[in-house]
A = this chain, B = another copy of it.
Protein backbone atom coordinates (compact mmCIF):
# COMPACT_ATOMS: atom_id res chain seq x y z
CA UNK A 1 0.00 0.00 0.00
CA UNK A 2 1.36 3.40 -0.94
CA UNK A 3 2.14 5.63 2.01
CA UNK A 4 0.87 8.68 0.11
CA UNK A 5 -2.80 9.59 0.54
CA UNK A 6 -3.51 10.34 -3.10
CA UNK A 7 -6.46 12.74 -3.50
CA UNK A 8 -5.49 13.68 -7.06
CA UNK A 9 -8.41 14.94 -9.15
CA UNK A 10 -7.47 12.80 -12.13
CA UNK A 11 -5.49 11.03 -13.35
CA UNK A 12 -5.98 9.63 -9.88
CA UNK A 13 -5.31 6.80 -7.51
CA UNK A 14 -5.68 3.25 -8.84
CA UNK A 15 -5.79 0.05 -6.80
CA UNK A 16 -2.32 -1.11 -5.72
CA UNK A 17 -3.03 -4.66 -6.97
CA UNK A 18 -3.83 -3.25 -10.40
CA UNK A 19 -0.58 -1.31 -10.53
CA UNK A 20 1.37 -4.44 -9.55
CA UNK A 21 -0.25 -6.49 -12.29
CA UNK A 22 0.16 -3.73 -14.89
CA UNK A 23 3.82 -3.30 -14.02
CA UNK A 24 4.42 -7.02 -14.57
CA UNK A 25 2.57 -7.03 -17.90
CA UNK A 26 4.87 -4.30 -19.22
CA UNK A 27 7.72 -6.80 -18.88
CA UNK A 28 6.05 -10.12 -19.60
CA UNK A 29 2.41 -10.45 -20.53
CA UNK A 30 0.55 -13.77 -20.24
CA UNK A 31 3.91 -15.57 -20.02
CA UNK A 32 4.54 -14.76 -23.68
CA UNK A 33 8.07 -13.51 -22.91
CA UNK A 34 6.84 -10.34 -24.57
CA UNK A 35 5.56 -7.07 -23.17
CA UNK A 36 1.86 -6.24 -23.36
CA UNK A 37 2.86 -3.14 -25.31
CA UNK A 38 4.92 -4.90 -28.00
CA UNK A 39 2.40 -7.45 -29.26
CA UNK A 40 -0.14 -7.06 -32.05
CA UNK A 41 -3.52 -5.69 -30.99
CA UNK A 42 -4.95 -8.36 -33.30
CA UNK A 43 -3.28 -11.15 -31.31
CA UNK A 44 -5.50 -13.54 -29.39
CA UNK A 45 -3.98 -12.31 -26.15
CA UNK A 46 -4.93 -8.68 -26.66
CA UNK A 47 -8.30 -9.33 -28.27
CA UNK A 48 -9.17 -11.17 -25.05
CA UNK A 49 -8.24 -8.09 -23.02
CA UNK A 50 -10.47 -5.84 -25.09
CA UNK A 51 -13.38 -8.28 -24.96
CA UNK A 52 -13.01 -8.76 -21.22
CA UNK A 53 -12.95 -5.01 -20.64
CA UNK A 54 -16.12 -4.59 -22.70
CA UNK A 55 -17.91 -7.42 -20.96
CA UNK A 56 -16.91 -6.23 -17.47
CA UNK A 57 -18.51 -2.87 -18.24
CA UNK A 58 -21.69 -4.65 -19.25
CA UNK A 59 -21.69 -6.79 -16.16
CA UNK A 60 -20.83 -4.07 -13.63
CA UNK A 61 -23.37 -1.56 -14.93
CA UNK A 62 -26.03 -4.05 -16.01
CA UNK A 63 -25.88 -2.78 -19.59
CA UNK A 64 -29.01 -4.07 -21.35
CA UNK A 65 -29.24 -5.72 -24.75
CA UNK A 66 -29.08 -3.30 -27.65
CA UNK A 67 -26.23 -1.26 -26.20
CA UNK A 68 -22.64 -1.34 -27.42
CA UNK A 69 -19.55 -0.77 -25.30
CA UNK A 70 -16.50 0.89 -26.91
CA UNK A 71 -13.04 1.86 -25.68
CA UNK A 72 -11.81 4.70 -27.87
CA UNK A 73 -9.30 7.54 -27.75
CA UNK A 74 -9.50 11.30 -27.40
CA UNK A 75 -10.96 11.79 -23.93
CA UNK A 76 -14.35 13.27 -23.14
CA UNK A 77 -13.12 16.36 -25.01
CA UNK A 78 -13.44 14.44 -28.26
CA UNK A 79 -16.61 12.85 -26.86
CA UNK A 80 -18.27 16.27 -26.81
CA UNK A 81 -17.90 16.38 -30.58
CA UNK A 82 -18.77 12.72 -31.17
CA UNK A 83 -21.95 13.01 -29.10
CA UNK A 84 -23.14 15.88 -31.26
CA UNK A 85 -22.03 14.36 -34.57
CA UNK A 86 -23.88 11.10 -33.90
CA UNK A 87 -27.08 12.49 -32.36
CA UNK A 88 -27.62 16.04 -33.64
CA UNK A 89 -28.68 16.54 -37.26
CA UNK A 90 -26.76 19.37 -38.91
CA UNK A 91 -28.60 22.59 -38.13
CA UNK A 92 -30.82 20.82 -35.57
CA UNK A 93 -31.31 21.65 -31.91
CA UNK A 94 -30.18 19.94 -28.72
CA UNK A 95 -30.70 20.88 -25.07
CA UNK A 96 -27.73 21.29 -22.74
CA UNK A 97 -27.40 21.83 -18.99
CA UNK A 98 -24.41 24.00 -18.15
CA UNK A 99 -22.82 22.99 -14.84
CA UNK A 100 -19.37 24.36 -15.60
CA UNK A 101 -16.16 23.85 -17.56
CA UNK A 102 -16.87 20.46 -19.13
CA UNK A 103 -20.49 21.17 -19.94
CA UNK A 104 -19.43 24.49 -21.50
CA UNK A 105 -16.98 22.71 -23.76
CA UNK A 106 -19.61 20.19 -24.80
CA UNK A 107 -21.93 23.08 -25.70
CA UNK A 108 -19.24 24.72 -27.81
CA UNK A 109 -18.67 21.56 -29.86
CA UNK A 110 -22.39 20.92 -30.39
CA UNK A 111 -22.77 24.44 -31.71
CA UNK A 112 -20.51 23.51 -34.62
CA UNK A 113 -23.04 20.90 -35.76
CA UNK A 114 -26.31 22.60 -34.86
CA UNK A 115 -27.77 24.69 -32.07
CA UNK A 116 -27.00 23.82 -28.47
CA UNK A 117 -29.74 25.44 -26.39
CA UNK A 118 -28.68 25.96 -22.79
CA UNK A 119 -31.89 25.19 -20.92
CA UNK A 120 -30.40 25.51 -17.44
CA UNK A 121 -27.17 26.85 -15.97
CA UNK A 122 -25.60 27.48 -12.59
CA UNK A 123 -23.14 30.00 -13.96
CA UNK A 124 -24.76 32.77 -11.88
CA UNK A 125 -23.21 31.30 -8.71
CA UNK A 126 -19.89 30.06 -10.13
CA UNK A 127 -21.42 26.63 -10.81
CA UNK A 128 -21.77 25.89 -7.10
CA UNK A 129 -25.10 24.08 -7.51
CA UNK A 130 -27.02 21.81 -9.87
CA UNK A 131 -29.85 23.58 -11.73
CA UNK A 132 -33.34 22.22 -11.01
CA UNK A 133 -36.89 22.78 -12.19
CA UNK A 134 -36.11 23.45 -15.84
CA UNK A 135 -38.24 22.55 -18.85
CA UNK A 136 -36.90 20.36 -21.63
CA UNK A 137 -38.00 21.33 -25.15
CA UNK A 138 -39.75 18.45 -26.89
CA UNK A 139 -38.19 19.34 -30.23
CA UNK A 140 -34.62 18.93 -28.97
CA UNK A 141 -32.75 15.98 -30.42
CA UNK A 142 -31.51 15.16 -26.93
CA UNK A 143 -30.64 16.51 -23.50
CA UNK A 144 -26.94 16.52 -22.62
CA UNK A 145 -25.51 16.94 -19.13
CA UNK A 146 -22.38 16.25 -17.05
CA UNK A 147 -23.23 13.98 -14.13
CA UNK A 148 -20.46 15.20 -11.82
CA UNK A 149 -18.37 18.33 -11.96
CA UNK A 150 -14.87 17.63 -10.67
CA UNK A 151 -13.85 21.28 -10.50
CA UNK A 152 -16.72 22.68 -8.45
CA UNK A 153 -17.65 19.47 -6.66
CA UNK A 154 -21.28 19.25 -7.69
CA UNK A 155 -23.15 16.13 -8.72
CA UNK A 156 -26.58 15.24 -10.06
CA UNK A 157 -28.20 13.16 -7.30
CA UNK A 158 -31.16 12.47 -9.51
CA UNK A 159 -30.84 12.38 -13.26
CA UNK A 160 -33.23 14.55 -15.28
CA UNK A 161 -36.43 12.82 -16.36
CA UNK A 162 -36.85 13.55 -20.02
CA UNK A 163 -38.96 12.64 -23.02
CA UNK A 164 -36.04 13.36 -25.31
CA UNK A 165 -33.02 11.03 -25.26
CA UNK A 166 -30.44 11.57 -22.54
CA UNK A 167 -26.72 11.89 -23.32
CA UNK A 168 -24.38 12.07 -20.36
CA UNK A 169 -20.69 12.74 -19.76
CA UNK A 170 -20.03 10.57 -16.69
CA UNK A 171 -16.24 10.90 -16.75
CA UNK A 172 -15.86 11.56 -13.06
CA UNK A 173 -18.49 9.40 -11.40
CA UNK A 174 -19.06 6.37 -13.60
CA UNK A 175 -18.72 3.09 -11.68
CA UNK A 176 -19.10 4.98 -8.39
CA UNK A 177 -22.76 4.01 -7.95
CA UNK A 178 -25.59 2.13 -9.59
CA UNK A 179 -27.09 3.70 -12.70
CA UNK A 180 -29.85 2.71 -15.04
CA UNK A 181 -28.15 2.54 -18.43
CA UNK A 182 -31.45 2.14 -20.27
CA UNK A 183 -32.35 5.73 -19.33
CA UNK A 184 -29.60 6.92 -21.70
CA UNK A 185 -28.89 6.84 -25.41
CA UNK A 186 -25.24 7.63 -24.74
CA UNK A 187 -22.97 7.51 -21.72
CA UNK A 188 -19.32 8.39 -22.10
CA UNK A 189 -16.41 8.74 -19.73
CA UNK A 190 -12.68 9.38 -19.84
CA UNK A 191 -10.99 6.49 -18.05
CA UNK A 192 -8.74 8.48 -15.73
CA UNK A 193 -10.95 8.64 -12.65
CA UNK A 194 -12.71 5.46 -11.56
CA UNK A 195 -11.75 3.24 -14.47
CA UNK A 196 -8.07 3.40 -15.31
CA UNK A 197 -5.22 5.54 -16.63
CA UNK A 198 -5.56 8.43 -19.05
CA UNK A 199 -5.67 7.49 -22.71
CA UNK A 200 -8.94 5.70 -23.32
CA UNK A 201 -12.56 6.77 -23.23
CA UNK A 202 -15.54 4.55 -22.59
CA UNK A 203 -18.69 4.87 -24.68
CA UNK A 204 -21.94 3.03 -23.94
CA UNK A 205 -24.28 3.66 -26.81
CA UNK A 206 -27.78 2.54 -27.74
CA UNK A 207 -27.29 1.04 -31.15
CA UNK A 208 -30.80 1.60 -32.46
CA UNK A 209 -30.44 5.34 -31.81
CA UNK A 210 -27.57 5.68 -34.28
CA UNK A 211 -27.63 6.56 -37.98
CA UNK A 212 -30.60 8.91 -37.75
CA UNK A 213 -29.00 12.32 -38.22
CA UNK A 214 -28.17 12.18 -41.91
CA UNK A 215 -24.77 13.69 -41.01
CA UNK A 216 -21.68 12.86 -43.04
CA UNK A 217 -19.69 11.70 -40.02
CA UNK A 218 -15.90 11.25 -40.30
CA UNK A 219 -14.97 7.59 -39.83
CA UNK A 220 -13.20 7.98 -36.50
CA UNK A 221 -16.03 10.06 -35.01
CA UNK A 222 -18.78 7.68 -36.07
CA UNK A 223 -19.83 5.17 -33.40
CA UNK A 224 -21.00 2.82 -36.16
CA UNK A 225 -17.42 2.56 -37.48
CA UNK A 226 -16.18 1.36 -34.12
CA UNK A 227 -19.14 -0.92 -33.41
CA UNK A 228 -18.62 -2.67 -36.75
CA UNK A 229 -15.01 -3.40 -35.79
CA UNK A 230 -15.61 -4.46 -32.16
CA UNK A 231 -13.87 -1.33 -30.86
CA UNK A 232 -10.74 -2.09 -32.95
CA UNK A 233 -11.22 -0.02 -36.11
CA UNK A 234 -7.71 1.25 -35.61
CA UNK A 235 -4.99 0.33 -33.11
CA UNK A 236 -6.54 0.80 -29.67
CA UNK A 237 -4.64 2.37 -26.75
CA UNK A 238 -3.46 -1.02 -25.56
CA UNK A 239 -2.07 -0.19 -22.12
CA UNK A 240 -4.91 2.11 -20.97
CA UNK A 241 -7.48 -0.49 -22.05
CA UNK A 242 -5.59 -3.25 -20.24
CA UNK A 243 -5.33 -1.31 -16.98
CA UNK A 244 -9.00 -0.35 -17.23
CA UNK A 245 -9.83 -4.01 -17.58
CA UNK A 246 -7.78 -4.83 -14.47
CA UNK A 247 -9.47 -2.04 -12.50
CA UNK A 248 -12.94 -3.19 -13.52
CA UNK A 249 -11.97 -6.73 -12.51
CA UNK A 250 -10.80 -5.36 -9.13
CA UNK A 251 -14.16 -3.65 -8.70
CA UNK A 252 -16.02 -6.84 -9.56
CA UNK A 253 -13.88 -8.99 -7.25
CA UNK A 254 -14.57 -6.65 -4.34
CA UNK A 255 -18.33 -6.61 -4.74
CA UNK A 256 -19.04 -4.43 -7.74
CA UNK A 257 -20.78 -1.10 -7.99
CA UNK A 258 -23.12 -1.86 -5.09
CA UNK A 259 -20.13 -2.37 -2.78
CA UNK A 260 -18.24 0.72 -3.91
CA UNK A 261 -21.35 2.89 -3.65
CA UNK A 262 -21.42 2.12 0.08
CA UNK A 263 -17.71 2.79 0.51
CA UNK A 264 -17.96 6.04 -1.44
CA UNK A 265 -20.86 7.19 0.75
CA UNK A 266 -18.83 6.46 3.89
CA UNK A 267 -15.90 8.48 2.55
CA UNK A 268 -18.14 11.40 1.56
CA UNK A 269 -19.95 11.35 4.91
CA UNK A 270 -16.63 11.43 6.76
CA UNK A 271 -15.28 14.49 4.95
CA UNK A 272 -18.52 16.47 4.70
CA UNK A 273 -19.35 15.86 8.37
CA UNK A 274 -15.98 17.30 9.28
CA UNK A 275 -16.35 20.28 6.95
CA UNK A 276 -19.72 21.08 8.57
CA UNK A 277 -18.56 20.43 12.13
CA UNK A 278 -15.18 22.11 12.06
CA UNK A 279 -15.55 25.90 12.58
CA UNK A 280 -12.37 26.60 10.60
CA UNK A 281 -13.76 25.27 7.30
CA UNK A 282 -16.78 25.67 5.10
CA UNK A 283 -18.06 23.84 2.05
CA UNK A 284 -18.19 25.52 -1.35
CA UNK A 285 -21.26 24.00 -2.98
CA UNK A 286 -24.98 23.71 -2.24
CA UNK A 287 -25.33 20.97 0.39
CA UNK A 288 -27.88 18.94 -1.56
CA UNK A 289 -25.66 18.89 -4.67
CA UNK A 290 -22.40 17.90 -2.99
CA UNK A 291 -20.37 15.48 -5.03
CA UNK A 292 -19.56 12.10 -3.53
CA UNK A 293 -16.40 12.12 -5.65
CA UNK A 294 -14.97 15.62 -5.12
CA UNK A 295 -15.45 17.53 -1.88
CA UNK A 296 -14.61 21.23 -2.24
CA UNK A 297 -14.04 23.39 0.82
CA UNK A 298 -12.22 26.53 1.96
CA UNK A 299 -10.66 27.90 5.11
CA UNK A 300 -12.85 30.50 6.81
CA UNK A 301 -9.68 32.46 7.47
CA UNK A 302 -7.39 32.43 4.47
CA UNK A 303 -4.47 33.67 6.51
CA UNK A 304 -4.24 30.12 7.92
CA UNK A 305 -3.51 28.68 4.50
CA UNK A 306 0.22 28.18 4.81
CA UNK A 307 -0.08 26.58 8.22
CA UNK A 308 -2.82 24.15 7.16
CA UNK A 309 -0.98 23.27 3.96
CA UNK A 310 2.10 22.31 5.93
CA UNK A 311 0.06 20.07 8.21
CA UNK A 312 -1.59 18.01 5.49
CA UNK A 313 1.60 17.73 3.49
CA UNK A 314 3.41 16.47 6.60
CA UNK A 315 0.67 13.86 7.01
CA UNK A 316 1.48 12.39 3.58
CA UNK A 317 -1.61 13.86 1.93
CA UNK A 318 -1.27 14.75 -1.74
CA UNK A 319 -3.38 16.51 -4.36
CA UNK A 320 -5.97 18.46 -2.33
CA UNK A 321 -5.27 21.93 -3.69
CA UNK A 322 -8.46 23.32 -5.22
CA UNK A 323 -8.79 24.12 -8.91
CA UNK A 324 -7.69 27.66 -9.73
CA UNK A 325 -11.26 28.67 -10.65
CA UNK A 326 -12.55 27.76 -7.16
CA UNK A 327 -9.55 28.03 -4.85
CA UNK A 328 -9.34 26.43 -1.42
CA UNK A 329 -9.28 22.65 -1.31
CA UNK A 330 -10.67 19.72 -3.22
CA UNK A 331 -10.53 16.21 -1.85
CA UNK A 332 -11.13 13.83 -4.75
CA UNK A 333 -12.24 10.47 -3.41
CA UNK A 334 -12.38 8.19 -6.42
CA UNK A 335 -13.14 4.49 -6.11
CA UNK A 336 -9.60 3.35 -5.33
CA UNK A 337 -9.08 5.85 -2.49
CA UNK A 338 -9.46 3.97 0.79
CA UNK A 339 -11.58 5.29 3.66
CA UNK A 340 -8.38 5.42 5.73
CA UNK A 341 -7.05 8.21 3.50
CA UNK A 342 -10.15 10.30 4.13
CA UNK A 343 -9.80 9.59 7.83
CA UNK A 344 -6.21 10.80 7.66
CA UNK A 345 -7.41 14.08 6.14
CA UNK A 346 -10.15 14.42 8.76
CA UNK A 347 -7.53 13.84 11.47
CA UNK A 348 -5.44 16.68 10.07
CA UNK A 349 -8.45 19.01 9.99
CA UNK A 350 -9.19 18.17 13.64
CA UNK A 351 -5.57 18.55 14.65
CA UNK A 352 -5.55 21.90 12.90
CA UNK A 353 -8.64 22.96 14.87
CA UNK A 354 -6.97 21.93 18.14
CA UNK A 355 -3.82 23.87 17.18
CA UNK A 356 -5.97 26.99 16.84
CA UNK A 357 -7.23 26.44 20.39
A positions within 8 Å CB-CB of B: 2-4, 6, 8-14, 19-20, 22-24, 26-27, 32-35, 37-41, 73-78, 81, 105, 108-109, 112, 190, 192, 197-200, 216, 218-221, 233-240, 243, 318-319
Contacts and interface: CB of A to CB of B under 8 A. Distances in A.
Contact of A20 (B9, B27, B234): B27
Contacts of A35: 14, 19
Nearest to A81: B218
Contacts of A26: 19, 22-23, 26
A4 B32 contact: yes
B11 A41 contact: yes
A218 B19 CA distance: 35
17 contacts: A4-B34, A14-B37, A19-B35, A22-B26, A23-B26, A37-B198, A37-B243, A38-B197, A73-B78, A73-B237, A74-B78, A77-B233, A81-B221, A108-B219, A109-B218, A198-B235, A199-B237
B23 A11 contact: no
A199 B238 contact: yes
Contacts of A22: 26, 37
A34 B318 contact: yes
Contact of A197 (B19, B37, B220): B37
Given A105-B219, A199-B237, 9 more contacts: A6-B34, A11-B40, A11-B238, A22-B26, A23-B23, A26-B26, A78-B220, A108-B219, A199-B240
Nearest to A26: B23
A35 B237 CA distance: 19
A329 to B, nearest CB: 15
A28 B76 CA distance: 27
A199 B37 CA distance: 10
Given A3-B33, A73-B73, A73-B75, A40 B219 contact: no
Nearest to A33: B4
Nearest to A12: B38
A198 B236 contact: yes
A75 B235 contact: yes
A190 B235 contact: yes
B237 A240 contact: yes
Contacts of A19: 26-27, 35, 37-38
Contacts of A192: 235
Nearest to A77: B234
